[in-house]
């Protein structure tokens, strides 16, 4: 004699049915496994560090510029001590993040910048040029240098500046991919060096750094591409489950499987509860799997990460219920899924391009989810740092999940 039928047992039976139905959809099962494997493999090849320095090439070498200027400076009254100080001068001094590479030939420097030659530097600082097209071998115990910008000084630059000559020509070479801001910074660097060599102060006053850097200054604390992709991958895995879950809901509605379910002791509430639990667990399980693969879970942030991933899973389950109820066929369901998913992807790109997000981006429901994921996995944000974003995400969660339940309930009742 069987025991009494309870709501929990009915929902459990429906969950078993959901799992069987999902396992029969070979396409989405294959895509799910493929995505998880691809994420695991590709993540290992992402750069784990970031280089915040700028490599600057100059020609001719500083020693050549100084040597050509000594006679002129001595004739102007410079002492031997002052000339000795000039020998030890470094144009890159106090320029944080600037690596100076000196070339004897301006032609060689331009060829390296345009890519027809390669520049390598040995452990003892020797510069070696390699013509790859000529079949020359890579030098041993040397590091390849990436040069994007270079400055060609006239050999008499220091002497001309010291004697206040007019129309001094300095050429700045840059690769086509170098941002205009970097080119302008190098031009300013040359002007500043000229003023320093002439013994004059810059004709402008600069405020303190705290007064000109707005928002949180990430200088020296930039995240590597691997770190940026960690929250983005977790977010994308959660979001992509919208497609598989909405397809599952749409199929049951179109094939009227739900009507067969409702002739049993199961009610609409049981059906909706089973859909919610299955969709949430499906997204949550995959999100946690990716989190374990890509790392980022610590003793300090585990509770916050689990909370935000759970909220994201419920939010996207609500979207899947809404899309599944709206689609009248496969193409219709796919269209509605894309209609919702594409805008929701936009906030994730704020990870790759950090800064203050535009107001319209912050309105998108998924913005607080990705905001907390980024803050937690990259910048060690705490509950105190994240509670406003979590509250904002909770509001959107209620709206989207409520809309999904309402739409699916109305759809089932109309069958």
Instruction: Among 160, 187, 209, identify where a domain stops.
Output: 209
Mean pLDDT by 10 residues, the chain (415 residues): 70 86 82 85 76 75 75 70 63 58 86 85 82 78 81 81 77 76 72 63 51 48 74 87 84 79 81 90 90 83 92 92 80 81 85 70 90 88 91 94 90 79
Would residue 17 count as lying in a domain? yes
Please report where in the chains the tokens 């992807």 appear, as a residue: 345
Q: How many domains does the chain have?
A: 2
**What's residue 67's pLDDT?**
75
Instruction: Among 187, 209, 231, identify where a domain stops.
Output: 209
Domain with 194 in it:
54-209
Residues 32 and 73 in one domain: no
Would residue 330 count as lying in a domain? yes
Would residue 16 count as lying in a domain? yes
The enclosing H or E element of 152 equals strand 149-152
Contact assessment for residue 368 and residue 396, using Cβ atoms and an 8 Å cutoff:
yes
Residues 29 and 169 in one domain: no
**What's residue 309's pLDDT?**
93
Residues 36 and 139 in one domain: no
For strand 118-122 and strand 127-130, is the pairing parallel, antiparallel, or unpaired? antiparallel
**What's residue 171's pLDDT?**
85
Residues 121 and 189 in one domain: yes
Contact assessment for residue 173 and residue 183, using Cβ atoms and an 8 Å cutoff:
no
Residues 366 and 400 in one domain: yes
For strand 118-122 and strand 142-145, is the pairing parallel, antiparallel, or unpaired? antiparallel
Q: How far apart (Å, rounded) are the C-alpha atoms in residues 247 and 238? A: 15
Residues 351 and 313 in one domain: yes
Q: How far apart (Å, rounded) are the C-alpha atoms in residues 331 and 173? A: 53
Residues 255 and 282 in one domain: yes
Would residue 3 count as lying in a domain? no
**What's residue 38's pLDDT?**
86
Residues 233 and 285 in one domain: yes
Q: Which residues of 25-64 are buried (b: 16+ CB within 10 A; e: fewer)?
A: eeebeeebeebeeebeeebeeeeeeeeeebbbbbbbbbee
Residues 331 and 255 in one domain: yes
Would residue 184 count as lying in a domain? yes
Strand partners for 100: 56
**What's residue 214's pLDDT?**
47
**What's residue 399's pLDDT?**
95
Residues 24 and 101 in one domain: no
Residues 292 and 145 in one domain: no
Instruction: Among 209, 243, 265, identify where a domain stops.
Output: 209
Would residue 404 count as lying in a domain? yes
Residues 380 and 294 in one domain: yes
Would residue 261 count as lying in a domain? yes
Would residue 175 count as lying in a domain? yes
């Amino acid at each position: 004699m069987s025991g009494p039928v309870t709501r929990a047992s009915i929902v459990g039976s429906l969950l078993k049915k959901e799992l069987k139905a999902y396992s029969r959809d070979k396409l989405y099962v294959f895509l799910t496994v493929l995505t998880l494997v691809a994420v695991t493999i590709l993540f290992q090849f992402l750069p784990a560090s970031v280089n915040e320095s700028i490599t600057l090439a100059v020609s001719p070498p500083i020693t050549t510029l100084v040597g050509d200027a000594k006679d002129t400076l001595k004739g102007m009254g410079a002492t031997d001590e002052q000339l000795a100080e000039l020998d030890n001068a470094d144009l890159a001094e106090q320029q944080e993040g600037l690596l100076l590479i000196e070339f004897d030939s301006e032609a060689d420097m331009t060829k390296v910048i345009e890519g027809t030659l390669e520049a390598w530097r040995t452990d003892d600082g020797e510069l070696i040029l390699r013509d790859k097209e000529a079949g020359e071998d890579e030098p041993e115990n040397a590091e390849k240098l990436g040069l994007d910008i270079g400055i060609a000084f006239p050999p008499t630059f220091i002497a001309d500046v010291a004697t206040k000559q007019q129309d001094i020509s300095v050429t700045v070479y840059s690769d086509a991919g170098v941002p205009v801001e970097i080119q302008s910074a190098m031009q300013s660097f040359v002007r500043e060096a000229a003023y320093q060599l002439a013994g004059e102060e810059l004709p402008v006053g600069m405020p303190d750094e705290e007064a000109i850097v707005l928002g949180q200054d990430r200088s020296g604390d930039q995240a590597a591409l691997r770190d940026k992709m960690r929250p983005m991958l977790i977010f994308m895995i959660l979001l992509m489950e919208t497609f598989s879950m909405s397809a599952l809901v749409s199929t049951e509605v179109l094939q009227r499987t739900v009507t067969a379910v409702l002739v049993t002791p199961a009610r609409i509430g049981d059906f909706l509860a089973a859909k919610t639990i299955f969709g949430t667990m499906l997204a949550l399980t995959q999100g946690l799997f990716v989190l374990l693969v890509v790392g980022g879970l610590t003793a300090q942030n585990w509770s916050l990460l689990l909370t935000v991933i759970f909220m994201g899973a419920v939010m996207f389950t609500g979207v899947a219920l809404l899309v599944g109820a709206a689609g009248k066929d496969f193409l219709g369901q796919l269209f509605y899924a894309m209609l919702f998913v594409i805008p929701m992807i936009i906030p994730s790109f704020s990870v790759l391009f950090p800064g203050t997000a535009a107001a319209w981006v912050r309105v998108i429901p998924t913005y607080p989810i990705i905001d907390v994921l980024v803050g937690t996995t990259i910048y060690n944000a705490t509950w105190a740092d994240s509670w406003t974003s979590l509250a904002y995400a909770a509001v959107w969660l209620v709206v989207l999940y409520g809309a999904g339940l309402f739409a699916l309930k109305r759809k089932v009742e109309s069958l």
